[in-house]
């Protein structure tokens, strides 16, 4: 079903409007377009649809570019780099849309309508919609109303009978009765076009061959088919990808209710772009290649996915966004990352949390934590203690293991400290065997003793492996922290827990 005749080179586009952060669904749509272009050796074009002056925000353009760059979805033509079909920002193409709106009017395919928004509102009570009264106006009427200073919009003249069919690359043919369609506004009273006109003029002029967009456009595609027909232009092949649903409500994922709907959420929360794009490949589409065990591969790059991407194999049903699976994938990418590269990703996170980070120390820490964090941000609570200048001595309550009391814990730490201080062997596990012997002498389980030391030295009940951690922290600091823990215990009156 994918017709990629050489007669029409593959040119696809992503056309967001600059009204805020890029949406996760937008990124997925962009990514499918990107993969489609790469699959067929075509061009991926970025176009900005800012024809709504009220909603357009100045800063949003940069946000869009930032989001796409972060995801690694590089474009071949766009507002920042130009190209042979520019400009790529609709607000700079207004005269084009006005020209073609007039052309439609001159060919009796569109007409002027003078109703105000208020009039339309009362008209659409009961969901009836516009009653097409503008169709009966003559050019003389227009002149009179213009003289009265009344503004008008331009509406497309939808055929009153018959039906319209278009073929969706993922869903097959879709047919709609024309009498269920509205005479949609294509040019607003401020002279700016609506989406329906602007995107068609642009897609045609930019020689877009395939349109891959979100599912919510399906109901207006018959209208678009009719407009292409009115112009006598060849319509691009079209595919609608399913909406991304919220895991909880099942409705469209929204930036208002779901922070993860904005793409900036992911870099702010320690996700890797490779993990996000990898995840998005399997939302509505399926990579499907199997590994040596015959099981479907879960981890792959968008570049590899692009080699076999098939838009006709995209699912037609809505898909829920599974943050848990994405987070798992992110952990996989963290585990597989080169140690130095991971350290470079981790350093700014720690620094942002107020730690002073020595890269050599961090490189020692990385092997201990790489399979213990799923997001970069988790490094702070997992390994912050390695870098804490002002280490807070844990409370006695935190220090005392289960089934032990303050005196017992203090004694255990005291004796452990003596053993550790007397060691001549510098290898990380040199203290382990003597400490196990100590635990046995004191009638403790190794876990109790090690637990007490862990809290004393790391300040946490859960930490990376104890002896490797101590080796990084260093003997001086370790013994000092144990001393302070013993001191805290001696001042405590906590009984057996």
Partner RNA sequence: GCCCCUAUCGUCUAGAGGCCUAGGACGCGGCCCUCUCAAGGCUGAAACUCGGGUUCGAAUCCCGAUAGGGGCACCA
Binding to RNA (CB under 7 A) within 424-443 occurs at 432
**Interface with RNA, residue 320, by CB under 7 A:** yes
How many residues at the interface with RNA, by CB under 7 A? Answer: 88
- The stretch among 172-180, 226-234, 339-347, 473-481 that binds RNA (CB under 7 A) is 172-180
From the candidates 43, 54, 188, 255, give the one annotated as an active-site residue: 255
- The stretch among 61-69, 75-83, 136-144, 449-457 that binds RNA (CB under 7 A) is 449-457
Residues 238-267 that bind RNA (CB under 7 A): 242-243, 245, 247, 249-252
Residue 176 backbone phi and psi in degrees, to 5:
-135, 140
**Interface with RNA, residue 328, by CB under 7 A:** yes
- CB nearer to RNA: give 268 or 335: 335
Q: Which two tokens stand for residue 423?
A: 């060691």
Residues 50-109 that bind RNA (CB under 7 A): 51-52, 54-55
CA distance 450 to 347: 29
CA distance 205 to 222: 20
Rg of the chain over Cα atoms, rounded to whole angstroms, equals 32
CA distance 124 to 118: 10
Q: How far is the CB of 315 from RNA (least distance, A)?
A: 5
Residues 274-303 that bind RNA (CB under 7 A): 282-286, 288, 295-296, 298
**Interface with RNA, residue 171, by CB under 7 A:** yes
- CB nearer to RNA: give 62 or 254: 254
Q: What secondary structure letter does DSSP report for 78?
A: B
Q: How far is the CB of 277 from RNA (least distance, A)?
A: 14
Q: How far is the CB of 292 from RNA (least distance, A)?
A: 12
Q: State the maximum Cα–Cα separation within the chain, in Å, rounded to a whole number.
A: 108
Q: How far is the CB of 491 from RNA (least distance, A)?
A: 26
**Interface with RNA, residue 124, by CB under 7 A:** yes
Among 62, 80, 81, 116, binds RNA (CB under 7 A): 116
Residues facing residue 290 across a β-bridge: 296
- State how far the alpha carbon of 419 is from the alpha carbons of 140, 429, 442, 466, 489, in Å: 104, 13, 14, 15, 19
Q: Which two tokens stand for residue 304?
A: 């590899």
**Interface with RNA, residue 164, by CB under 7 A:** no
Q: How far is the CB of 53 from RNA (least distance, A)?
A: 8
Host H or E run for residue 360 = helix 359-369
223 CB-near residues (< 8 Å, 6+ apart): 156, 158, 181, 182, 184, 196
**Interface with RNA, residue 233, by CB under 7 A:** no
Host H or E run for residue 113 = strand 110-113
- The stretch among 28-36, 66-74, 103-111, 463-471 that binds RNA (CB under 7 A) is 463-471
Residues 184-223 that bind RNA (CB under 7 A): 185, 188-190, 192-195, 199, 215-220
Q: Which two tokens stand for residue 400?
A: 């005392």
Three-state DSSP at 185 gives: strand
Q: How far is the CB of 154 from RNA (least distance, A)?
A: 10
3-state helix, strand, coil in the chain (%, to 5): 50, 10, 40
54 labelled catalytic = no
CA distance 497 to 486: 17
Closest to 14 (Cα-Cα) out of 53, 55, 43, 40: 43
Q: Which two tokens stand for residue 416?
A: 């452990």
Residues 1-40 that bind RNA (CB under 7 A): 15-17
Among 20, 468, 477, 494, binds RNA (CB under 7 A): 468
Q: How far is the CB of 384 from RNA (least distance, A)?
A: 14
Among 82, 151, 162, 229, binds RNA (CB under 7 A): 151
Report helix angle 432-441 to 406-422, nearest 10: 150
What is the set of active-site residues?
A: 255
């Amino acid at each position: 079903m994918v017709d990629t005749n050489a007669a029409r080179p593959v040119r696809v586009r992503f056309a967001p409007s600059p009204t805020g952060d890029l949406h996760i669904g937008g990124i997925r749509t962009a990514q499918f377009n990107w993969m489609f272009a790469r699959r067929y050796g075509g061009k991926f074009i970025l176009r900005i649809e800012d024809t709504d002056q009220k909603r357009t925000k100045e800063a949003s353009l940069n946000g869009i570019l930032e989001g796409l760059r972060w995801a690694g979805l590089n474009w071949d033509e766009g507002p920042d780099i130009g190209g042979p079909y520019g400009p790529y920002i609709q607000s700079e193409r207004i005269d084009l849309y006005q020209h073609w709106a007039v052309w439609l009017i001159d060919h009796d395919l569109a007409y002027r309508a003078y109703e105000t928004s208020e009039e339309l509102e009362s008209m659409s009570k009961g969901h009836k919609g516009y009653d097409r009264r503008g169709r009966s106006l003559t050019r003389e009427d227009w002149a009179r109303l213009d003289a009265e200073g009344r503004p008008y919009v331009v509406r497309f003249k939808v055929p009153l009978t018959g039906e319209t069919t278009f073929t969706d690359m993922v869903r097959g043919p879709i047919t709609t009765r024309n009498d269920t369609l509205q005479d949609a506004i294509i040019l607003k009273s401020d002279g700016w076009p609506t989406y329906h006109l602007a995107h068609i003029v642009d897609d045609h002029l930019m020689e877009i061959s395939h349109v891959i967009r979100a599912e919510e456009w399906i109901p207006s595609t018959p209208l678009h088919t009719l407009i292409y027909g009115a112009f006598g232009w060849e319509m691009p092949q079209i595919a609608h990808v399913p909406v991304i649903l919220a895991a909880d409500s099942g409705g469209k994922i929204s930036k208002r209710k779901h922070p993860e709907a904005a793409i900036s959420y992911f870099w702010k929360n320690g996700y890797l772009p490779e993990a996000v794009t990898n995840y998005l490949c399997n939302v509505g589409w399926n990579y499907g290649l199997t590994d040596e065990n015959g099981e479907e591969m879960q981890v792959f790059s968008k570049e590899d996915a692009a080699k076999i991407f098939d838009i006709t194999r995209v699912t037609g049903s809505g898909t829920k966004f599974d943050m848990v699976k994405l987070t798992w994938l992110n952990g996989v990418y963290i585990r597989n990352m080169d140690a130095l590269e991971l350290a470079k990703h981790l350093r700014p996170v720690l620094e942002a949390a107020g730690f002073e980070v020595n890269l050599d120390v961090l490189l020692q820490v990385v092997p201990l934590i790489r399979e213990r964090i799923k997001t970069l941000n988790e490094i702070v609570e997992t390994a912050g203690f390695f870098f804490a200048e002002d280490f807070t001595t844990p409370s006695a309550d935190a220090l005392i293991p289960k089934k032990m009391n303050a005196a017992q814990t203090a004694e255990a730490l005291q004796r452990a400290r003596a053993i550790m201080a007397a060691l001549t062997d510098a290898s990380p596990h040199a203290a382990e065997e003597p400490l196990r012997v100590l635990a046995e002498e004191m009638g403790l389980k190794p876990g109790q003793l090690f637990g007490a030391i862990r809290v004393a030295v790391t300040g946490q009940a859960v930490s990376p492996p104890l002896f490797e951690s101590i080796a990084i922290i260093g003997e001086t600091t370790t013994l000092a922290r144990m001393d302070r823990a013993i001191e805290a215990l001696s001042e405590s009156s906590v009984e057996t827990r």
